């Protein structure tokens, strides 16, 4: 899953980004409202962590512009403890949830997991597709209860397909959500990762839809 993190406190930005990358998220970082607004408009994200008190363009304005442009990605806002008005303004502008500073980064991660899960229509932290089960919190997957040994890219690919199971997902979309903005993207590597996954979870779980992409669904 690909996350946009917009926080002007460089130390906090770095801490959140590192913990999310350790959990196999792809993270793009911005440090002011203008840069964050641009990235949110031009790159596809599964969720956004947005600080309210940003330089150049405040977080509420960023969010209002995104929603006015029809962008629907889940947004978690970060607010100061004594500014209840920021929470109200953020929610009214289109935020899906908020966390009050100071906070534990684990809480931010839990809320992001929940936002992504709900956006994909899943109610619990474990997503299943036939015999395959994905534990989002633990960042691990099993087949018939047996733990799968996956590389970071294999896990990200499996996670994205399982969150969007039943949907046809193009190679371009997968590439955009598996790599950050600075990575030298090559959609041909997706075929390699899909091939590896099929060997580990069963080829019948991932269907190739000719000319369109891939679809993950439980075998009949």
* Mean pLDDT for the stretch of residues 28-49: 96
Same domain, 69 and 154: no
Predicted TM-score of the model (pTM): 0.79
Query: Cα dist. 169→86, 95, 114, 204, 209 in Å?
Result: 37, 26, 22, 16, 9
Q: Which of 120, 149, 168 is the last residue of a domain?
A: 120
pLDDT at 187 (0 to 100):
60
Mean pLDDT check: name the lowest of 179-183, 195-199, 204-208: 179-183
pLDDT at 81 (0 to 100):
65
Same domain, 59 and 160: no
71: CATH: 3.40.50.2300
pLDDT at 85 (0 to 100):
83
Q: Domain limits at 13?
A: 2-120
Instruction: Report residue 194's pLDDT band, with 50, 70 and 90 as the boundaries.
Output: very high
Half-sphere exposure of 133 (CA within 13 A, CB side): 13
Residue among 113, 205, 100 at smallest CA distance from 162: 205
Rg, the chain, Cα only:
18
Residue among 204, 214, 193, 209 at smallest CA distance from 130: 204
Axis-axis angle for helices 171-178, 188-201 (nearest 10): 90
In angstroms, the CA 170 to CA 213 distance is 4
What's the pLDDT tens digit per position in 130-188?
Answer: 999 999 888 899 999 999 999 988 999 999 999 999 999 998 889 888 877 666 556 67
175: CATH: 1.10.10.10
* Number of domains, the chain: 2
What's the pLDDT tens digit per position in 56-104?
Answer: 999 999 999 999 999 999 999 998 867 788 889 889 999 999 999 889 9
Q: Which of 93, 120, 147 is the last residue of a domain?
A: 120
In angstroms, the CA 6 to CA 34 distance is 10
């Amino acid at each position: 899953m690909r996350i946009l993190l917009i926080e002007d406190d460089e130390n906090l930005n770095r801490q959140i980004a590192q913990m999310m990358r350790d959990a196999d998220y792809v993270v793009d970082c911005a440090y002011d409202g203008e840069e964050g607004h641009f990235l949110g408009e031009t790159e596809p994200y599964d969720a956004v962590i947005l600080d309210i008190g940003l330089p150049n363009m405040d977080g509420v304005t960023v969010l209002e512009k995104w929603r006015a442009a029809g962008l629907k990605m889940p947004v978690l806002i970060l607010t100061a403890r004594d500014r209840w008005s920021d929470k109200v303004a953020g929610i009214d502008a289109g935020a899906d949830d908020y966390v009050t500073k100071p906070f534990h980064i684990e809480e931010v991660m839990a809320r992001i997991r929940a936002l992504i899960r709900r956006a994909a229509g899943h109610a619990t932290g474990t997503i299943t597709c036939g015999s395959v089960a994905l534990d989002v919190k633990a960042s691990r997957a099993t087949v018939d209860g047996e733990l799968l040994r996956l590389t970071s890219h294999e896990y990200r690919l499996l996670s994205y397909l399982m969150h969007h199971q039943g949907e046809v997902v193009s190679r371009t979309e997968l590439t955009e959500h598996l790599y950050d903005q600075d990575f030298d993207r090559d959609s041909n590597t997706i075929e390699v990762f899909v091939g590896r996954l099929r060997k580990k979870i069963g080829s019948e779980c991932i269907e190739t839809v000719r000319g369109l992409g891939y679809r993950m669904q439980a075998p009949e």
